[in-house]
Structure 1
Amino acid sequence: MSITYPKKEIILDNKIEVIWDQEILMSDGVIIRCDIFKPNDDEKYPVIMTYGPYGKWLHFDQIYSEQWERMCEDHPDVPAGSTNAYQNWEVVDPEKWVSDGYVVIRVDSRGAGRSEGVLDLWSHKEAEDFAECIEWASNLEYATGKVGINGISYYGMNQWQVASLQPKNLAAMCVWEGASDYYRELGYHGGIYCSFTEAWFQKQVLTVQNGIGENGLMGNIKGDWVAGPKTLSEEQLRKNRKEFPAEILENKLATDDFWTSRMPDFSKINIPLLSSANWGGQGLHSRGNFDGYVRSASKEKWLEVHGIEHWTEFYTDYGLNIQKQFFDYYLKGKENGWQDRPKVNLLTRYPNEVFKENYYSSWPLEETDWRKAYLNASNLSIDQHNPKEAEVTYQGFSDGITFLAPPVDRETEITGPIGLKIYISSDTADADIFAVFRVFDEELKEVTFQGAIDPHTPVSQGWLRASHRKLDKKLSKDYQPYHTHDEIEPLSPGDIYELNIEIWPTSIVLPRNYRLALSIRGKDYAWPGGEVKGLGNLDDVFTGVGPFKHQNELDRPSVIFDGNITIHTGGKYESYLLLPYIG
């Protein structure tokens, strides 16, 4: 027997009222659907909203069971204090927020889950929908008029876009591990195509496209079809979606409309901001949280940085307390000391997954001592002084060359963005550079970390396709080169070129006698310990970079990218890392 929606239900000993599948009519006539969790009384409360494609009726542990089980086992504070019956991937637990005086609204984005329309991921139309949903929510009879947005990944990334549209009742935003530049952080790393979206689109998006209906998943949250109510043919489903990975491959420059239409205008983001990054988020999320924090026009903004898995700290008491203090202050006007909190809160990283909390006033950190560490091709070392000219050659699709620094003579902290300048020549018309910033212990065993996804993630990474070497002179800094990606400039074989490479922000405290290293490779980093089991909904096998791989033959034909590449160092070819030493 079919259920008629919207449907009201009282849950949890009469404490929470739920309105399932509430319709929101968009300005173009498309019906978007949401679930509303509110205190079961007649008072008014601020709203916490998310908008995204993962299916609001799909319980966290249905297709993300490995992540859920591990998180609950390692962090018992996550499931504590909740029945967890309404846990949904990468959004807040309504039980823990409604009980503290919030209305929680989960919106299935256009063409996903229970919402109609054409699925067009991170499109400008999605951002407009999100803005309309915010205004609609602010006018609900049980809402105070203030709306906050808060979520992980997709539910964070689209916050940058909607905030730049300035919906009038959007009062605060918390972007938890959310990229802000879809070209540079998702589609093309340094101009090199990343295949992440291919499996992600198939396994995490198409499985909940609106219209899958009875051919899809029954949601454990509501006990109804996650992507209904209609069941459409495969032909109809194809007509109702844009093929996101294919569009990425077709749009190779950041200036293509596909990318510019998705790029937020940071100068228009002017509401209170909490941006939360992950040191191990290489390949998708970490860069955007730092960049969004720095570039947003908000005068009241904070940066928090943590480690371990991509989803975990959002749900722990550590993350939950930070989020609630932020939103309590801006949505409820609660005088809780948030305004006196230092602007930058870092969990500084040590080997063996040890973190120590530190506070600062700016990013990069105010006490940064920028130092050059010079590459020496004659002996593959990293030196304090610029050496004599030398060169070393490797093949394009190889493990490349590793430069090793001497052991540090005392505990040494490096925290911040890293700039890399190198000179190269190639015997073909292009070259892909994979720069891996690494640390080795006293026995020259590599120190890796539980990254956002991969359990053996290096300290940091950067990428650049040599034909994309052109810099944006306005946005580039010595410690963060910024490339325009607006034209392709082929190499003349044998000629020497200067490349400036952005290595994503990181934090590492080296114990005495540990060493820094830099690998310049022609392919993705590979953890020396070999392959490990991946996460089925992301990738079956992890090798050190999780699902963020760069192996597409159309993008990297061997005739171009498997040539011989020579690194030139010393003398007039001053190749070096610009490192942020702290203390």
Structure 2
Amino acid sequence: MSDDQRIYLPSQPLRPGDRYGILSDFEPGTRTLPAGFQIAPPFRPIPVDIVLEKDVAVTLRDGVTIYVDVLRPAGTDPVPVIVAWSPYGKGQGTSTSVMGVFGLVGLDNGILSGLAKFEAPDPAYWCARGYAICNPDVRGVASSEGDSVLWDRQEGLDCYDLIEWLAGQEWCTGKVAMSGTSYLAVSQWFTAAEQPPHLAAINPWEGVSDVYRDLVLRGGMPDTGFARQLRDFSFWGLGRKEDIVAEAERYPLMTDLWQDKIPDFDRITVPAYVVASYSNTLHTAGTFRAWRRMASAEKWLRVHNTQEWPDYYDEANVEDLRRFFDHYLKDEDNGWEHTPRVRYSVLDLRGGDRVGVAAGEFPPADVTPTNYYLDGRSRALTTTVPADAVPAAYDVGANPDVVSFVVRFDRETVLVGYPKAHLWVEAHGADDMDLFVLVQKLDAHGTPLQAFTTPNQGPMVQDLTERGATILRYKGSDGRLRVSLRHLDEQLSTADVPAHSFDRVEKLAPGEIVDVEVDLLPVGLVFHPGEQLRLVVSGRNLLGPMMPRLVEYTPANSGRHVIHTGGEHASYLRLPVQTG
């Protein structure tokens, strides 16, 4: 463990405010909520009697005590339990912050009971179907003891101990699962890697799987806007909290600290139902990475076409998840094993998305990676190498400060899988480059096509997503790389997905031309005849911050960026073209 590299800040006690819900008070004890109980007017009444065991003490292996709420159906029959592991307060479901988030994305708060943690399964649904829900306040949060940490092996060990404690309770069948989106998904990678004996299944619904590469230093750039928000507004407690922002500043290269924040995918062997999207610039890369690398023989992937919260609480998707859990936690012979291992979406961006397309793998077997070469003279993307070596360039801070290349498709073309950019680059007047790459879909007239991922597409969301809030509006597949950190990790890299080691700095010499590989977010995208694909390269973030109102990263750029094309320096965009 990398305790010597961790940096801590004092936490602040959880006090009444916008993140304080009705069940946030520390009130140990057991009571029964009768069928029809409604915790507050906006929320749905519960359909069955639910036993609420509040603030139950659970002692972890190092002596630290955490407190959990257990909600289970009334009665004497033992039931399996689903754990929602995150630092978000276990009483936060009725808080104004959670209600505001639902309002922002266009979800009715009445679809939930208010008994659920943020981004977690709703006890009103699951208790009515013979499951218990465990909502913990994790280490260092609210009244739980210890210092809180952010996404590393410590959380896996802690949740292991909670799972084994739950399995031993008289009301439990001994089978435990995990479910939830975002933070609740990430914690599942770490917990499953510890292999608790009574963990029967996991359901990670979009989440990072490498804190360095996905959260604080994507592409080697210290873009910590969301990490700062996560640190400052999610770890309320009595002890200390990990200062992930200070750690990113002190340790900009891969160290043991960051290695401890990568799950041991080879040890994830439990049945898994993984849910991903192409459009979440925080979660997409990490979810697909975990899916690829986890060792589970029984694993399923569904790639949806919206944002994670509407998808997670959609009635049909909840029922689909219940079939998975019924199979593995209740041993029901319901045919789940015949579910296609992959169900993916193909985005149209004009209202004609295809969803639930069945495949045996991702990318599907009928995908052929195809190189489209950059032509600096015509600014076209071509499937043959341009004979002439013609560079394209932009001056940092100028207008324009991008170069782009376009291909028009003369027949329907479907991309499904992992694109990447292989670029030959040079810096004039600088020894480094922060590069940003975007693949856009254009209509036949050259207009960029985009799509909102939430039910709310009104003026406020229009404003928020005009520049930023990329999780709410999809504008294309993006990637980024600091060129001095271009060294590839040979063990982690594949032909489709480059992975950089981030363990060394290789500055550019004057006149030096180097090749770099930039991994782009996975895509599922259809182009109709006449529509176009545009590749954009720039020295600035082309999408803005991933979340609303975050501080935008300022690239460390100066001078002139040159992208070489053709001849001996044939830069290309590799696209996953479906040929079936």
2:73 corresponds in structure 1 to 39
RMSD value, Cα? 2.1
One-letter amino acid of the structure 2 residue matched with residue 423 of structure 1: W
Q: Could you tell me how far apart the structure 1 residues matched to 2:264 and 2:473 are? A: 35
> Equivalences for 1:347-426 in 2 at 5 Å?
347-357=345-355, 358-387=357-386, 388-397=388-397, 400-426=401-427
1:437 aligns with 2:436: no
1:232 corresponds in structure 2 to none
Against the structure 1 CA distance between its residues 425 and 325, is the aligned structure 2 distance closer, same or farther, given a 3 Å change threshold? same
**1:501-535 Cα shifts (integer Å, max 9, x gaps):** 111101111122110011001011148xxxxxx99
Counterpart of 1:581 (choices 568, 577, 580) is: 577
One-letter amino acid of the structure 2 residue matched with residue 241 of structure 1: K
2:50 corresponds in structure 1 to 16
Q: Which segment is superposed worse, 391-400 or 359-368?
A: 391-400
1:52 corresponds in structure 2 to 86
Q: CA deviation at 1:471?
A: 0.9
1:481 aligns with 2:498: yes
Against the structure 1 CA distance between its residues 361 and 522, is the aligned structure 2 distance closer, same or farther, given a 3 Å change threshold? same
Structure 2 portions without partners, runs of 5+: 1-23, 36-47, 455-468
2:14 corresponds in structure 1 to none
> Equivalences for 1:292-331 in 2 at 5 Å?
292-331=290-329
**1:465-507 Cα shifts (integer Å, max 9, x gaps):** 1111111222222221111111111111221001111111011
Q: Could you tell me how far apart the structure 2 residues matched to 1:379 and 1:64 are? A: 50
Q: Is the 8 A contact 2:163 2:176 kept in 1?
A: yes
1:153 aligns with 2:177: no
1:492 aligns with 2:509: yes
Q: Could you tell me how far apart the structure 1 residues matched to 2:325 and 2:363 are? A: 25
Q: Could you tell me how far apart the structure 2 residues matched to 1:314 and 1:186 are? A: 22
3-state secondary structure, aligned to 1:492: coil
1:65 corresponds in structure 2 to 99
Q: Could you tell me how far apart the structure 2 residues matched to 1:339 and 1:270 are? A: 16
Q: CA deviation at 1:353?
A: 4.7
3-state secondary structure, aligned to 1:129: helix
Q: Which portions of structure 1, spanning 4 or more consecutive aligned residues, are displaced by more than 6 angstroms?
A: none
1:340 corresponds in structure 2 to 338
Q: Is the 8 A contact 1:400 1:519 kept in 2?
A: no
1:565 aligns with 2:574: no
2:270 corresponds in structure 1 to 271
The count of corresponding residues between Structure 1 and Structure 2 is 525
1:257 corresponds in structure 2 to 256
Against the structure 1 CA distance between its residues 54 and 578, is the aligned structure 2 distance closer, same or farther, given a 3 Å change threshold? same
Q: Is the 8 A contact 2:119 2:309 kept in 1?
A: yes
Q: Is the 8 A contact 2:372 2:381 kept in 1?
A: yes
One-letter amino acid of the structure 2 residue matched with residue 248 of structure 1: A
Q: Could you tell me how far apart the structure 1 residues matched to 2:136 and 2:251 are? A: 29
Structure 1 portions without partners, runs of 5+: 212-236, 528-533, 541-546
Q: Is the 8 A contact 1:54 1:204 kept in 2?
A: no
Q: Is the 8 A contact 1:376 1:403 kept in 2?
A: no
Q: Could you tell me how far apart the structure 1 residues matched to 2:156 and 2:52 are? A: 25
3-state secondary structure, aligned to 1:133: helix
Q: Could you tell me how far apart the structure 2 residues matched to 1:406 and 1:119 are? A: 49
Counterpart of 1:7 (choices 8, 16, 29) is: 29
Q: Is the 8 A contact 2:485 2:506 kept in 1?
A: yes
Q: Could you tell me how far apart the structure 1 residues matched to 2:426 and 2:94 are? A: 49
**1:186-236 Cα shifts (integer Å, max 9, x gaps):** 111111122233442355314xx113xxxxxxxxxxxxxxxxxxxxxxxxx
Counterpart of 2:553 (choices 550, 555, 562) is: 550
Q: TM-score, normalised by structure 1?
A: 0.86
Q: Could you tell me how far apart the structure 2 residues matched to 1:55 and 1:301 are? A: 30
1:290 aligns with 2:280: no
Q: Could you tell me how far apart the structure 1 residues matched to 2:159 and 2:26 are? A: 25
Q: CA deviation at 1:257?
A: 1.6
Amino-acid identity (%):
28
Against the structure 1 CA distance between its residues 383 and 60, is the aligned structure 2 distance closer, same or farther, given a 3 Å change threshold? farther
Q: Could you tell me how far apart the structure 1 residues matched to 2:150 and 2:182 are? A: 13
Q: TM-score, normalised by structure 2?
A: 0.86
Q: Could you tell me how far apart the structure 2 residues matched to 1:414 and 1:470 are? A: 27
Against the structure 1 CA distance between its residues 202 and 269, is the aligned structure 2 distance closer, same or farther, given a 3 Å change threshold? closer
**1:17-67 Cα shifts (integer Å, max 9, x gaps):** 111111111122211011101010001111100211110111255213333
**1:266-295 Cα shifts (integer Å, max 9, x gaps):** 11111101111111012x211111111111
**1:167-191 Cα shifts (integer Å, max 9, x gaps):** 1111111110011111111111111
1:210 aligns with 2:237: yes
Q: Could you tell me how far apart the structure 1 residues matched to 2:105 and 2:483 are? A: 40
1:28 corresponds in structure 2 to 62
**1:145-184 Cα shifts (integer Å, max 9, x gaps):** 1110111111111111111111111111111001111111
